[in-house]
Amino acid sequence: MADGATPRQHDARGTDRLGRLPAVDALLGGLGAAIERHGRRAVVEAVRADLDALRAALREGAGPGDDAALDAHVAAAAVAARVDAALA
C-alpha cells in the first residue's frame, strides 16, 4: 500500500467510516426535485445503488479520502447529481 498501511488497516478504516453514511430516507429529504423528475421508486433504487457502491469502495480502502470528503460525497446535492446522471 502506498501509505504503508496493510490491506487489513485499510479495511478497518473503511469499515469504521461506514457508520458515517446516511440512511436512504435521510438522503431522500434533499432529493425532492429528483423525485419529481424520476419518481420516488427510481430515486430510492438509485440512492441505494449509490450507497452500495460507496460501501464497497470503503470496504476496499478506496472512496473519499477523509471524513470531510466523505461528508461532501454524501451531501444531498452530490447524491442528487449522481442520481440524475444514473437516471438520465
**Residue-by-residue DSSP string for 7-44:** HHHHHHHHHHHHTTSPPHHHHHTT-HHHHHHH-HHHHH
pLDDT in tens, the chain (88 residues): 444 444 443 444 556 789 889 999 999 999 999 999 999 999 999 999 999 999 999 998 888 888 899 999 999 899 999 999 999 9
**pTM assigned to the model:** 0.78
What pLDDT, on the 0 to 100 scale, is given for residue 5? 44
pLDDT at 7: 44
